[in-house]
Structure 1
Amino acid sequence: MISFETQVFDVDHILGPDGLVASGMRDYEHRPGQVAMSQAIMRSFETSRHLLAEAGTGTGKSFAYLTCAIFKAIENNCRVLVSTHTINLQEQLINKDLPFLAKVLPWEFNANIAKGRSNYICLRRFKFAKDAGATLFDGENSEMQLLAKWVKTTDDGSLSSIPFVPSPKTWEAVQSEHGNCKGRKCPSFRECFYMKARRSLETSNIIVANHALLFSDLVLKKQNGMGIIPDYAYIIVDEAHNIEQVAEQHIGINLSSSRIAYTLNGLFNSGKNTGLLKITGQSELCPLVDDCRKSSELFFQSAEDWIKQQGQSFSGRCPANFIEDTLSPALRALRIKLNSQAGKLDEEDDNRFELGRYVEILKDYEDAVSSFIKRPAEDDGFIYWLEYKAGRFARINLRSAPLEVGPHLQDFLYKPFPSIIATSATLSCGGEKGFDYLAGRIGLNDYDSIQLDSHFDYKNQVKVYIETALPEPNSFEFTKAAADKTLQYIKMTQGRAFVLFTSYRMLDEFADKLRGPLEDMGIQLLCQGSSIDRTTLLKEFVNDTQSVLFGTESFWQGVDVPGESLSNVIIVKLPFAVPSRPLIQGKIEQIRKKGGNPFNEFQLPSAIIKFKQGFGRLIRKKSDKGIVAILDSRIITKYYGRLFLKAIPECTVEQIRS
């Protein structure tokens, strides 16, 4: 291995036609865009500039940024964190790309994946839960027996390596937690899976994480200087078009009536006479749990009554103090009593740590409820709303999110780090100022940008059909006419199609109309939102090359199906966000208040980026071919339609006028 001191970053020597990557890759293809992206990233690192880099599918962007990250980490003896949104990309980086680069590059480096602490089993808590048995789990728990076998053989103790999917109740009883850890005093400290993973990260040059963990780490470091991940000097964010959404979820409130009931039942379930308090022998606190449960039921019943009073005008949004806060005082009273009882126990008593866990959870709930109800009357930059699911077991979620994540990201991301690299295949809306929309939404004011076309030959690989004569999507006639057209296009490819919707309602309507005809054709219909989870749904689609998948939100992006399994993408409607959703509504109102045009500044560019994501599902490698059918005539009849077509690669386009 050549010593690092003799090395310089020569991108052509690494990624060029006669470079190190080419010498180690059997099916190597030179990609000029990959070289250009690598040069732009290294320039940003060395000039301390933030960079937005859009690299079309097939550019080879992961090698472009990983080679720079590895060089910089070794040169500066530091860590570089690479953040992704999807597990698939994390696994590709850790299991495929980084091992390959370790073989061909002349620099020794360590790379590891960072997972949240709750992804690891805690051996001490596992023993506690196993010993508690039926008192904790409402009867015998067969999953604990399976976990006992797995614990003896697992190398990493992580949730993803378990050969079955444990129930949330089981996993929450055994997962590793910050506030429920004895540290070096734990008898299982040497064998602790989380600590082993943490020590691996300490010696890493490259750390791969997801966006949620990255934001959690950054916020904690900003608040108290102690994070989840060892310090890093540079950040590369792949799948960066998701930054705003993840930040909104991370910064806001999301607390449900069922979640509170679940937690209280974990302490004491009066119906089954089980729970932690029965194990710790503190049954005198059980009535206080029952009181808290009644307060919770009263609080959420008041919220449901208020929703019903609004009638058809209920939009989800609610003002401050719309009902009396009967819940946070009850949560506080229970928390204080639990904390007092835990303090009386021996410092090394497992019961003390388990009670302490509930003290922390109840404090989070108390703060969330209080903030939601008693928020400032004036605009605090957040929007608050209720999510309501009616029925016998009604469910209400308290939700809030910042209207602008930019100020938050500036505070804990852009200012502390001299160079943030944000990349994706879909960052720009097209045109000279194509990056302005995303940069504005994520608060990136001073940055460089580069836009690199895809390596694929879309003109010969894709044909786009546009149905110009169909009724507009909001008309009564659209569903039947568009469903008939959908069937025609599915016949063209004998299945092998994604049909992308913007709502479950329309997805269900199409499914009802087409299930019978597809069955007659021997084509399996797979629908998102059915009893099959998303991962299993995608596996079935890939394995059955004569199937059709009806998908909504999450299938527009982050899904990679190369080869003949996917030869057809049908876009039913242009993916404009539903303006009546509280968060979207709040953003629209805010733009209006500032004198802006919400459609041009927000609704249109966000729809264009999502449209690009949907289009991008089709071609994943150089040999792929297929069709894209657009059933929304507005792409031709409205002035803004051309902007959608300009944003995707140049293809053969046929307008269907009959």
Structure 2
Amino acid sequence: MISQKMVVVDLETTGNSPKKGDRIIQLSAVTIENGKIMSQYTTFINPEITIPTFIEELTGINDEMVEGAPSFEEIAPIVLEIMDGAVFVAHNVDFDLGFLQSELEEAGYNGFYGPKVDTVELAKISYPTAESYKLTELADRFTLSHDRPHQADSDAYVTALLLLHFIEVLSKLPLVTLETLQPLAKYLKSDLELLLQWIVDKNRMHIDELPETIEIYRGIALKKKEEQLDASLPSDDIVYPSNDTNKEKLLQHAFENFERRHSQFQMMDAVYDAFSCKEHLIVEAGTGVGKSLGYLIPALYYSKAMKIPVVISTYTVQLQEQLLQKEVKQLQEMTDFPFHVVLLKGRNHYLNLFKFEQSLREEESQFDVVLTKMQILVWLTVTNSGDIDELNLTSGGMLFWNRIKHDGWHLQKEKDPWISRDFYLHARKQSNRADLIITNHSMLLTDLIAETNLLPSYQQVIIDEGHHLEKAARKHFGKLIDYISVKFTTGQLGNLDQKQLYYKLETLLEKYHVKYDLHSFELDMMIVEFYRELDECLNLLASTFLKHAKKRRDVQKIQLRLTDEIMSERAWQPVLIATERVYSQMKGIENAISDRLDQIKKEDVKLEDQEKTLVEELYSFLKDWSQLKEQLQLVFIKGQEEQVIWIEGDLRSLPTSLVIQSQPISVGESLQERLFSKIESAVITSATLTVQSSFDYLLKEVGLSQEKIKQLQLPSPFQYEKNSTLYIPNDLPEIQSVSVIEYVEAISAHLIAIAQATKGRMLVLFTAYDMLRKTHELMKDSGLLDDYVLMAQGISSGSRTKLTKNFQRFDKAILFGTNSFWEGVDIPGEDLSCLIMVRLPFSPPNEPINQSKCDRLKIEGKNAFSAYSLPEAVIRFKQGVGRLIRRSSDRGIVIVFDQRIISTRYGRAFLQSIPSMPVRKGNLEELLQWIEEWL
């Protein structure tokens, strides 16, 4: 196919819909022949309509630039000549080709009906682990020159380079992988099957030897496991650095321009001493201390000296990846002895190779499933871990993953032909020989309550991002039932007519003449009745929720705490009765399916491989079914003491948005009993653990007393006094004294003026999404920031990471965030020079956990505000301030719009808990003058 002419096209248009009158304003076509770029044709096109402001901002193309350009009718013959006999290629091909077809037909020409190739599909298959498949981000990944994104000539040329690169990548895949990919590709949206056929034919002509790193097993190519050498050494060979000079020499190996940090040495010694003395330790290490190496170095030395593993638990995947990709590599450069670090996650993070192998034998035409199979086939040639977190799957791909994820062995483990290559077992085996085991809070907590230990035996643990431990434990010891998951889990079974798992099981039983108790007709009727009752139950729940939610119609997303008062209402009784019926039916269906599976085992049926995977899938399904059944019982029927139960949902999309949660009000006792009392030493660390220099709040939350833990507070070494200032405008209204709209108008006016003074580079943090959305709309519609890029969480597309990266790309940018943006966002240097907090981050008073904790404290005779609400808000405030200064050379301004920070007595708690910096107060005019001087 590559010997055929390929034309890579990119269009800039006035909008997304030619049917609504949108037109092309620029076209570029790059011609490729025999694998080489031969020519490029580019032209502006006069659309004969005004170019919208948004398009002008995005592309840089304005009305003046297209005024003297040809119309599309004039260039249509040139375009058709270029595309004659070619393969049409574009990044998101259906958009460009569809738009071009429309313009050609409008001009009186026949459209293009040759083969088409989508480089988005090609990218997803060639690089299944890429963070993003946007053109600009792919160009960045492969360091391709892309100086004018969203202009057709630059976009088309970069797309052409990417096309050639992806073809080269695919050409290097093992022939067996290509031969499996090629027939799958016929179900994709573009004609990649033709491209893959050409690559297969070419590779068959000269079959190269497989690389040493690849093996073929049961017809699938995969990367060989990297067996680690035994890195244990006698304890005499490894001595922990005893003084600052030795530590400095150690660090010099990793940092050419090492900046001496005494606080980092203090942390190393404190961690090593805590392990040696079998004590618990809590360390607040401010930004710039070098926290990660501050615990990794002593953990490694202790592990090697004592020949036992140390577990490191984090809350976020980002920190896990950072530890592996950055700090562990630095450790390897610093030390002169080998060591072994393993990342270990829960079983369902890993691919079940046997299930995946059998899925390849199924005829499947659903796009997301086919694409995911193709991505996994390519991924298997590069992955060491088999961990889903490496993959970038579509939402439909995630549903398919639920079928092929690891879920243990329900038949004889030894009969799994992939046992020798099993990713989960490999990770477990590696962890048994590891010096350091990196995991997450969820896995750590699962291990505490699991019947069989998931982590190797350990006595020392480091809990990084420790301010999230209580939250993670509440979530983990709680229950969650959501409408989408309920429908997905139960929908997998199906009745006989739907021909899903139940139908396949009955067909299998009939084939081998397996006898069972409940007749298939009776079970089929039970399943049909169950689906009817389940829908009725969910609809009843939605209508009861809506009845109470109507009282708060000003907000779309509602959380309703199920108090004893609500659950004793007459209106609640039908929900309870319906849930009991659903539970009873689930129990009966579970028993019937279990009986059938037991009979297969009992009669020792000799199953074929594909039948084995069906039985494994049924056992996995039954596990999810049973878990859902127990959750329904615990939340609605039995109830649990000391739990808070609530329903949340979006009033615009009921019942599909319904989520029911149950969480313990307090987890301190459970953590003390299950974790801290069972191990010798736990180190809890984070950059934000104290309130007014006291660890008291956090220690109470996780069940530790002041007497049972050593404490160390290490302030940031950065010069906040010199490099930052906190400003409080005094001419904004108190939010309680005006309507939300009035408040939004007031802060928007301030934000616009500040943005113009700072030239953007602003991160604006909100505590409520509704206010973020209204402020973003008002600022965008004002017309005063037309040359600024405004990005907002939940409005602009992309994850937090993608939004942050995009924010850093533009000179004049404003980023609006809430919730997760208060922490974990790292924007160093001049990319961020102004941080604005709209409100002090108190949790909403009607938030269920907040309500329950406050009610409990009041019953205990304590002040709920000072004991819980205030310290929780202060820690979050500290996290927000921490977004500004990320490096010693950073400079910036913190602006707090909330007057309570100076007008209330408790406001001092916020100011006294952050690094010392100048605090200024004044009106907007004074603020703008001061900003101008500062910057």
Note the 1:258-657 alignment, pairs <5 A: 258-268=484-494, 273-282=498-507, 285-310=523-548, 311-312=550-551, 315-319=560-564, 322=572, 323-324=576-577, 325-346=580-601, 349-376=612-639, 380-391=641-652, 393-394=654-655, 395-431=657-693, 434-445=694-705, 446-474=708-736, 475-476=738-739, 477-517=742-782, 520-530=785-795, 531-657=797-923
Deviation track 1:599-656 (CA, whole Å, cap 9, x = no partner) reads 1100011100000000000111112111111111111111111111111111122212
- CA distance in 1: counterparts of 2:801 and 2:596, whole angstroms: 44
2:272 pairs, out of 42, 55, 59, with 42
Contact 1:3–1:107 (CA<8 Å) still a contact in 2? no
- CA distance in 1: counterparts of 2:266 and 2:704, whole angstroms: 22
- CA distance in 2: counterparts of 1:256 and 1:635, whole angstroms: 38
Pairwise CA distance, 1:270: 8.3
Contact 1:81–1:209 (CA<8 Å) still a contact in 2? yes
- CA distance in 2: counterparts of 1:130 and 1:79, whole angstroms: 39
CA 1:317–1:12: 2 relative to 1, 3 Å = same
Deviation track 1:454-490 (CA, whole Å, cap 9, x = no partner) reads 0111112212211123111233232211121122222
- CA distance in 2: counterparts of 1:337 and 1:544, whole angstroms: 60
CA 1:128–1:318: 2 relative to 1, 3 Å = farther
Pairwise CA distance, 1:3: 5.7
CA 1:306–1:616: 2 relative to 1, 3 Å = same
Letter in 1 for 2:613: D
Residue 76 of structure 1 pairs with residue 338 of structure 2: no
The equivalent of 2:441 in structure 1 is 211
- CA distance in 2: counterparts of 1:275 and 1:644, whole angstroms: 57
% of aligned pairs identical? 28
CA 1:634–1:269: 2 relative to 1, 3 Å = farther
Pairwise CA distance, 1:326: 2.4
Contact 2:731–2:922 (CA<8 Å) still a contact in 1? yes
Note the 1:65-104 alignment, pairs <5 A: 65-104=295-334
Contact 1:339–1:355 (CA<8 Å) still a contact in 2? no
Deviation track 1:3-38 (CA, whole Å, cap 9, x = no partner) reads 640543234357644x21124411211111111111
Pairwise CA distance, 1:519: 7.3
Letter in 1 for 2:239: V
Contact 2:253–2:333 (CA<8 Å) still a contact in 1? no
1:9 pairs, out of 224, 240, 255, with 240
- CA distance in 1: counterparts of 2:598 and 2:337, whole angstroms: 52
Deviation track 1:103-160 (CA, whole Å, cap 9, x = no partner) reads 322443211111222222111111233333449x699733323333433453332223
Letter in 2 for 1:312: K
| 3-state SS in 1 of match to 2:539 | helix
| 3-state SS in 1 of match to 2:626 | helix
| 3-state SS in 1 of match to 2:530 | helix
Contact 2:466–2:685 (CA<8 Å) still a contact in 1? yes
Deviation track 1:215-258 (CA, whole Å, cap 9, x = no partner) reads 112221xxx3x222222221001110011111111110101122
Pairwise CA distance, 1:591: 0.2
Pairwise CA distance, 1:182: 4.8
Pairwise CA distance, 1:339: 0.9
Tell which has more relative contact order, 1 or 2 (C-alpha 8 A, sep 6+).
1
CA 1:341–1:289: 2 relative to 1, 3 Å = same
- CA distance in 2: counterparts of 1:69 and 1:234, whole angstroms: 9
- CA distance in 2: counterparts of 1:275 and 1:329, whole angstroms: 22
Letter in 2 for 1:20: L
Note the 1:158-169 alignment, pairs <5 A: 158-162=387-391, 164-165=393-394, 167-169=397-399
Pairwise CA distance, 1:95: 1.5
| 3-state SS in 1 of match to 2:492 | helix
Note the 1:52-71 alignment, pairs <5 A: 52-71=282-301
| 3-state SS in 1 of match to 2:380 | helix
Note the 1:186-205 alignment, pairs <5 A: 186-205=416-435
Pairwise CA distance, 1:425: 0.5
Residue 27 of structure 1 pairs with residue 257 of structure 2: yes
| 3-state SS in 2 of match to 1:67 | helix
Letter in 2 for 1:364: Q
Deviation track 1:62-97 (CA, whole Å, cap 9, x = no partner) reads 111111101111111100011111222111211121
Contact 2:314–2:463 (CA<8 Å) still a contact in 1? yes
Contact 2:779–2:785 (CA<8 Å) still a contact in 1? no
| 3-state SS in 2 of match to 1:132 | coil
Query: Which protein shows a greater Rg?
Result: 2
Residue 243 of structure 1 pairs with residue 469 of structure 2: yes
Letter in 1 for 2:485: R
| 3-state SS in 2 of match to 1:41 | helix
Give the gaps of 5 or more residues in structure 1: none
TM-score (norm 1): 0.93
- CA distance in 2: counterparts of 1:110 and 1:96, whole angstroms: 15
Instruction: Tell me whether 587-596 or 546-555 shows the greater mean CA deviation.
Output: 546-555
- CA distance in 2: counterparts of 1:215 and 1:150, whole angstroms: 30
What number of residue pairs does the alignment pair up?
647
Note the 1:121-136 alignment, pairs <5 A: 121-134=351-364
CA 1:391–1:164: 2 relative to 1, 3 Å = closer
Pairwise CA distance, 1:511: 0.8
Pairwise CA distance, 1:269: 7.5
CA 1:305–1:326: 2 relative to 1, 3 Å = farther
Instruction: Tell me whether 302-311 or 90-99 shows the greater mean CA deviation.
Output: 302-311
Pairwise CA distance, 1:289: 3.0
Pairwise CA distance, 1:277: 2.8
CA 1:457–1:28: 2 relative to 1, 3 Å = same
| 3-state SS in 1 of match to 2:275 | helix
Contact 1:266–1:276 (CA<8 Å) still a contact in 2? yes
Letter in 2 for 1:341: R
| 3-state SS in 2 of match to 1:417 | coil
Contact 2:239–2:305 (CA<8 Å) still a contact in 1? no
Contact 2:467–2:686 (CA<8 Å) still a contact in 1? yes
- CA distance in 1: counterparts of 2:374 and 2:267, whole angstroms: 51
